[in-house]
Amino acid sequence: MFSEVLKSAAKPAKYFAKLEPDELGVKIRCGLCPRECIIREGETGYCGVRGVLDGELVTFIWGHPSSIAVDPVEKKPLYHFHPGSLVLSLGTIGCNFRCKHCQNWTISMADADSAGLGLLEGEPIEPPALVEICRRQGATGVSFTYNEPTIWMEYVLDTFRYFREHTDYYTCLVTNAFINPEPLKDVLEVTDAYRADLKTIKPENLVQMALYNHPEKVLETIARVAKSGVHLEVVTNIVTNWNDSEEELSAMVEWMADNVPHDTPWHFTRYFPHNEYREEATPVATLRFAERIARERGFKFVYLGNLPGADGDTTCPDCGQTLISRAGYSARTLVNEARCPACGKALRSLVLPERKG
Ligand code: SF4
């Protein structure tokens, strides 16, 4: 059964079906992510933050971030979207995966029943307060990041809708793309950018990190976003002795090439040991291999991350002109519009802030 703190934080959840009760009582199927947990009274789902209270599916974390900061948008990473801007960034607790190398495991592996209790005390942060923080801190957008944003989708939607209606700030998600089609459709209506992880294409790998054997669910999401018109950037964190074989990297490149426009920015990032996973950091040669085969298959904007000295500049794929220069997380945009000033090439995947006046 839930504590009084949890009960007072509970808010109605979306995306569920009530199933026929049996001898053990009520059963609700959460439909937010493909895991589709069957949850009973007094229990939470796999992500640890959605549960059944008084016969209804509730979320315990609406408006309760565990982390809130203003970051350069390059840190998400988003390289072709409002480069050089600051973005208000929020995360909470819980996740619908359990990656053994998660950098943010102290929040992603907490649940509302345990480490979340202190977090849930106090009033939730309403969306207008987030707008106020943006104004004070000079941020021009809001981002759900740090842990998996899908699992507090009710708060994400309320926040993004408020920002859309009341501000000209942008909205973006940093996500594992493990979400069902209905909530995805809803969030694509109100997000300006979708930064998706493509972690693995092999069922046995996904089982190892997420106890789930259908990586195609993530692929389907990425393909849907690619067709939606919402700005998409993809990250593949190459993890030593997990998703780093030439066979798997080649399969990912083939799938991406067949399903995603080739001007989509694709970031290959270097893994470092975190949490339970202690293999050595990704060899630089592996990152270079992934970069090479992605470029050979037609990807025009391939970046290497977590690699000091890697060239993070954005250059024109036709003439090589530098369009955005980067040093660490700072970026200097050298174009006024999404077009190469040297050769005139249109840059479809570059989203710049609208010029005022
Ligand atoms: S969002 Fe959480 S409760 Fe819902 S199906 Fe996914 S893991 Fe289960």
229-269 confidence digits (pLDDT tens): 999 999 999 999 999 999 999 999 999 999 999 999 999 99
Question: Which residue in the block uniquely carries the two structure tokens 């470092």?
Answer: 272
The ligand 1 site (C-beta within 6 Å) comprises: 30, 32-33, 35-37, 45-47, 50, 96, 151
Whether the CB-CB separation of 48 and 110 falls below 8 Å is answered with: yes
Whether the CB-CB separation of 7 and 151 falls below 8 Å is answered with: no
Instruction: Return the axis-axis angle of helices 127-137 and 153-166, rounded to nearest 10°.
Output: 60
22-69 confidence digits (pLDDT tens): 998 889 999 999 999 999 999 999 999 999 999 999 999 999 999 999
**Sheet containing 86-91, strands listed edge to edge, beginning at the edge strand earlier in sequence:** 67-72, 86-91, 141-144, 170-175, 193-197, 231-238, 266-270, 302-305
3-state secondary structure of 261: coil
Distance CA 65, CA 176 (A): 18
Ligand 1 atom 5, closest CA: 36
Query: What are the structural domain ranges in the chain?
Result: 4-59
Q: What is the pLDDT of residue 85?
A: 97
The neighbour count for residue 350, using CB atoms within 10 Å, is 23
Mean pLDDT throughout 142-171?
A: 97
Radius of gyration over every alpha carbon of the chain, rounded to an integer in angstroms? 21
User: What are 150's two structure tokens?
Assistant: 């899908």
**Partners of 17 in the beta sheet?**
29
Distance CA 180, CA 167 (A): 28
**Sheet containing 56-59, strands listed edge to edge, beginning at the edge strand earlier in sequence:** 11-12, 56-59, 50-53
Atom of ligand 1 minimally distant from the CA of 33: 6
Ligand 1 atom 6, closest CA: 33
Atom of ligand 1 minimally distant from the CA of 35: 5
Determine the distance separating the centroid of ligand 1 and the alpha carbon of 37, expressed in angstroms: 6
DSSP state of 15: S
Mean pLDDT throughout 114-132?
A: 86
Distance CA 139, CA 87 (A): 5
Distance CA 216, CA 229 (A): 21
Determine the distance separating the centroid of ligand 1 and the alpha carbon of 26, expressed in angstroms: 17
Determine the distance separating the centroid of ligand 1 and the alpha carbon of 50, expressed in angstroms: 7
